[in-house]
């Protein structure tokens, strides 16, 4: 499974990448901006995209919508530090698989990705 993480915060990028790689049989690609993510999406087939809502070059939801327009079957997960109900409704209406508010439990991410992860202890870890 190929997973792209579009996130401007390097620490969060690395934490998520380590978690996803521990799931097994996952190849992780990192992008620090929407433009970088869209470019990478054009050259690699992805199964899942995790995207922060605030990127240095724009809105993460706009990036996710663009990617879903290019591949309607892609599983997308929008991550945010803001509990914005309007953004959540807009994301879900656009077809985003999950909307996660940071800090979130990695079990929530695992569930959103629909990948079992027996290696996490009960209660999981937070990102």
> In 3D, which of 124, 25, 27 has the Cα closest to residue 5?
27
Q: What pLDDT score does 124 carry?
A: 45
Overall CATH class of domain 2-112: alpha beta
Domain ranges of the chain: 2-112
- If one compares 73 and 82, the residue with the highest pLDDT of the two is 73
Kindly report the number of other CB atoms within 10 A of residue 38's CB atom.
16
| pLDDT given at position 122 | 42
pLDDT digits (tens, 9 = 90+) for 110-121: 888 874 343 444
């Amino acid at each position: 499974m190929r997973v792209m993480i579009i996130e401007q915060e390097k620490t969060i990028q690395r934490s998520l990448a380590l978690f996803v790689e521990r799931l097994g049989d996952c190849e992780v690609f990192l992008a620090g901006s929407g433009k970088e993510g869209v470019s990478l999406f054009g050259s690699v087939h992805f199964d899942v995209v995790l995207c922060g809502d605030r990127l240095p070059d724009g809105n993460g939801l706009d990036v996710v919508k663009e990617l879903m327009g290019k591949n309607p079957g892609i599983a997308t997960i929008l991550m945010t530090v803001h509990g914005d109900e309007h953004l959540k409704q807009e994301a879900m209406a656009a077809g985003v698989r999950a909307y996660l508010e940071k800090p979130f439990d990695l079990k929530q991410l695992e569930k959103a990705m629909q990948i079992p992860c027996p290696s996490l202890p009960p209660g999981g870890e937070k990102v």
